[in-house]
Amino acid sequence: MKKLLLLMVLILMAALIYNIYPEAKLAKTAQIDSLVVFKSQHQMLAYQQGKLLKTYQVSFGNSPTGHKEFEGDEKTPEGIYAINAKNDKSGYHKNLGISYPNAQDIKHAKLIGKSPGGDIKIHGLRNGLGLINKFQRWFNWTNGCIALTDTEVDELYQSVKIGSKIQINP
């Protein structure tokens, strides 16, 4: 029984250390002009003039496989879009808007008789839940957005310019 208790304490300590251990930060002078997402690897790469500056571990919609087809499918879109907005007053800790849906997305949704949806963002945790921090990476929990820790969203919010390209790959 003591060995099991000790093991549980060690696992809990390791998880807490993982969650609070600081990670490398972007330079305050970084000017991200391109983001590349690999859904299958849960990664988002941030580039400045073709130079990789940082790789982020991200979470997606509850149903991450495949391209977003319609509102409510909980998929994250795939394709080339742009960062089209910044919002520091959202229900989540800041966000960057993604220009979904494009004309092709709208056409496809109409073809299947559905709304394409919208409001796809790169965002942090729901306001008030920041202590979850890196544990959010362990699950796909959004409605189709790309989720990061609050600290990571702060970095991107400062460094990504409106109009920057985002390529979302399967």
108 noted as active-site residue: no
The encoded tokens of residue 143 equal 């409605």
Secondary structure (DSSP) of 47-105: EETTEEEEEEE-B-BSS-SS---STTS-PPP-EEEEEEEEESSSSBS-EEEE--S-HHH
From 67, 93, 108, 145, active-site residue: 145
C-alpha–C-alpha distance, residues 79 and 93, integer Å: 25
CA–CA gap between residue 123 and residue 72 (Å, rounded): 18
The Cα 153–Cα 117 span in angstroms is 23
Please tell me which residue in 42, 67, 108, 123 is annotated as part of the active site: 123
| Percent of residues in the chain assigned helix, strand, coil, to nearest 5 | 30, 30, 40
List the one residue out of 124, 155, 160, 153 whose CA is nearest residue 27: 155
Is 145 a catalytic site residue? yes
> How is residue 101 written in tokens?
């849906």
Would you please indicate which residues are annotated as catalytic (active-site) residues?
A: 123, 145
